[in-house]
Amino acid sequence: MRWYHVLLILVSSFQTISNAFSTSPITTVASPAHSISTSFAVTETARRRLLRVVNRANAESNSFKDVGYGENTGDVSGYSGYDKSSIKDLEERVTGTEAFQKLKSSKTFKSFSQGVTKATNTFSDKISPALPMKAKLQVWSNNGKSVSFVRKELGMDKLDDALLKQAKNFQFYDDYVTSQLPIWAKNELTLDDIVSQLGLRGLSGSDLTSNPNFKYYDQYLEHQALVWATKDLDLDDVLVRLDLNILPAAERLGAVNFKYYEEFVAGLMRSWMEKGTPLDDVMAKLKLDKLTGEELLKHPNYKYYKNHVKNYLRVWAFNGESLDDVAVWLGLENMQGKLLESQPNYAFLKKYWDKSTKYEEQEMLKRRITSFQVWDDLQVFRVKQSRRKNSETYKAYKHYVNLIDDYIIRLKDRGFTEDELPRMTSKNAAPDEMMEKTYIWTQMRRPEWYVKFSLGLDGLGENALKEAANFQYYEYYLRAMKAVNPTVQ
């Protein structure tokens, strides 16, 4: 029976070798409107004759960026070096399939086989320190190792949380946990699962947000909030997923997880706008369709509905939609008098009448419409110079230039850096338009930093400044400001 011992040794050796060589490198990875009988009347002005421009698509990316992962389920047998056919070949070479099958059925073989499996798993853990760190991370990931296991293997388990980021192996730890986020998302781990994985059990408030692992918690739930929005989940379902259902409505605002609920609702509203979801359906999804009066206005979800409709008002104003069409979209067609005024959406119809111009301007600023686009749309260049300054066309153009200037200066006053401010001077602007805008800046005594910024001259050295195409307008501005204020150097 000497072949019996030889066979056992070969099988044992093969299992150990296949395990040791199974590592792989980390991969990097509106229908026609009905008229409404009201006292509203629309007045056409030069400002309302602006040509409309195409909406710019909003680029949104809410995925885990720069994280490489494959179809990893933690199954070690998925390694590329493991070839099951080799076992069959080995069986045939040693004796015969029938004899081997008989051997495998014996109690002695089963006991030995189980012992080998345990031994090889232990052997894999023991040799892992000899592997390059990236290879270790991949092995741990493939084996579905927990965050706490990796933290221990990296020698960071004894460290206080506050000192975690200072550890020499923290970058490896950070890489590992970050690589698990898409895997957790794919497996739809619950909030309780994430808290357990990241060792955040029992933490809340500032204790939670100051923990080094909160970074991963935050990234995971931000991503999930957007996923839930694309799935159009029920609001109550998401409250449960975020453990907000156990809190009274008034206390939810102060909860850490309320941020993700609001991001979920914001994602829903973007989706509803893209799909053109009727406002009646939006009210139903926000649990507002059965409410009226004060009960409606005081509901915590009413603020979302209000913002949603205001977004529509801006778009409708930008597109120059008539009051009758807006009444149809608000569900107010064929209503008048007290019946009209008693409807929840009447307030928005009145806002549209009162503030349609303001909504239009806000949408233009939001879409970064330049002053030259307005100049060109209004055809200011066709108005004779002798009459231009007093024309309604020029006044509409000047009004928009001042809107841009006030908007950008206000952003700067709020702490935005010049790199973060929008550039709303067209590179293709005509010299006439640039000169008129410079006159307006001088008349309004705009600050020098703003003029340089708008002309694209900020950050230029002395020589580059003088060679720039827009330097002539800057020079005019400086001379004009010195003339109106001789103390300016």
pLDDT at 412: 94
- Tell me: do 375 and 327 sit in the same domain: no
Q: At what angle do helices 2-20 and 107-127 cross, to 10 degrees?
A: 30
In a domain, 39, yes or no: no
Q: What's phi and psi for 318, nearest 5 deg? A: -60, -35
For residue 93, with 0-12 CB atoms within 10 Å meaning exposed, 13-18 middle and 19 or more buried, which class applies?
exposed
**Of 393, 399, 356, nearest in space to 376 by CA:** 393
Comparing CA positions, the residue from 257, 235, 217, 271 lying closest to residue 60 is 271
- Helix or strand holding residue 91 (H, E): helix 84-94
Burial class (CB in 10 A: 0-12, 13-18, 19+), 199: middle
Same domain, 363 and 382: no
Q: How far is CA 221 from the centre of its chain?
A: 12
Where in the sequence is the domain holding 102, given as residue range(s)? Answer: 1-29+66-132
CA atoms of 75 and 69, how far apart (whole Å) = 14
Q: How far apart are CA 325 and CA 67, in angstroms?
A: 47
Burial tier of 221 (Cβ tally within 10 Å: 0-12, 13-18, 19+):
buried
Q: Looking at this protein, which amino acid is placed at residue 57?
A: A
In this structure, the number of other CB atoms found within 10 A of the CB of residue 242 comes to 23
Helix and strand element counts for the chain (H, E): 26, 0
Phi then psi for residue 6, to 5 deg, are -60, -45
Per-block average pLDDT, block size 10, for the chain (489 residues)? 42 42 38 41 44 37 40 35 36 38 45 44 48 83 88 84 81 91 94 94 91 94 96 96 93 94 96 93 95 92 95 91 92 89 92 88 93 95 92 94 96 93 94 96 96 94 93 95 70
One domain for residues 363 and 442? no
Residues 153 and 196 in one domain: yes
Q: Please report whether residue 254 resides in a domain.
A: no
Has residue 38 been placed in a domain? no
| Residue 139 belongs to some domain of the structure | no
The set of residues, in sequence order, having a beta carbon less than 8 Å from that of 25 and lying 6+ positions away, is 134, 135, 138
DSSP alpha helix (H) spans, 276-391: 279-285, 293-297, 302-318, 323-329, 337-341, 346-366, 371-378, 385-388
Q: Which amino acid is it at 467?
A: E
Question: Is residue 361 located within the same domain as residue 443?
Answer: no
| Count, residues in the chain | 489
**Predicted pLDDT of residue 130:** 58
Of 347, 367, 387, the residue at which a domain comes to its end is 367
Same domain, 128 and 15: yes
Tracing tokens 């400086």 back to the chain, one arrives at 478
* 6 in the same domain as 115: yes
Nearest Cα to Cα of residue 278 among 362, 367, 345: 345
The distance between the two most distant Cα atoms of the chain, rounded to a whole number of Å, is 116
Does residue 337 belong to any structural domain of this protein?
Answer: yes
CA nearest 470: which of 455, 482, 489?
Answer: 455
Same structural domain, 23 and 83: yes
Q: Does residue 105 fall inside a structural domain?
A: yes
Start-end of H helices in 198-301:
205-209, 214-230, 235-241, 249-252, 258-275, 279-285, 293-297
* DSSP, res 46: G
Clarify whether residues 161 and 213 are in a common domain.
Answer: yes
**What's the distance, Cα to Cα, between the start and end of the chain in Å?**
107
349 and 307 within one domain? yes
56 found inside a domain: no
Is 380 found in the same domain as 360? Answer: no
Select from 367, 386, 409 the last residue of a domain: 367
Q: Which two tokens stand for residue 207?
A: 């204790």
Domain end residue (candidates: 345, 367, 389): 367
Q: 232 and 178 in one domain?
A: yes
189 is a domain residue: yes
CA distance 127 to 20: 8
pLDDT at 487: 60
Number of independent structural domains in the chain: 4
CA distance 346 to 342: 7
Cβ neighbours of residue 102 closer than 8 Å, sequence gap 6 or more: none
